[in-house]
Amino acid sequence: MTQTDKAPLPARTPRLYWEDFPPGSVREFGRHTLTREAIVRFASEFDPQPFHLDEAAAEASLFGALSASGWHTCALVMRMMCDDFLLDSASLGSPGLDHIKWLKPVLVGDTLRVRLQVQEARPMASRPHVGLVRFEWQAFNQKSEPVLTMQGWNMFGRREAAAPAA
């Protein structure tokens, strides 16, 4: 069973809250190796472009080899975040991403890891029990080459909600 084939985990008592993500803090985690089968399976369902499905088409493309969909890479980063900390947190979801860039193709046999840095953290003005955290995520291959960068926001419950603004 691969990392992405695991059954969903039951809800856990949060260990991490908004207060545990101060600006400047860094987490490094994950290790996921991509197989040909996983690349083709994901692409077949979600991104059926020829360079994600067929070696000959991929060799004739700009990538030069079968490559994972960028959305597959994003999904793997999400899974690694869940496994490392998100499922142990008071996560309340995300209002979205501000930036995403695929920097280098992810190929069969590449092993990905993630570096996450907190760019900003602030309470949500309209909901004092919620804190906003702006993260920058970077995914690297086994050669420490960056393959993906993303920036966006997550919402977390706070240990102690601030008093509402008067």
Domains in the chain: boundaries: 25-157
What pTM value is reported for the model? 0.88
Task: State which H helix or E strand residue 96 sits in.
Answer: strand 96-102
Secondary structure (DSSP) of 120-160: EEEEETTEEEEEEEEEEEEEE-TTS-EEEEEEEEEEEE-SS
| Structural domain 25-157, CATH architecture | Roll (3.10)
Rounded to an integer, the average pLDDT of 127-150 is 97
Whether residue 1 is predicted with pLDDT greater than 50 in this model: the reply is no
pLDDT digits (tens, 9 = 90+) for 100-113: 999 999 999 999 99
DSSP state of 16: B
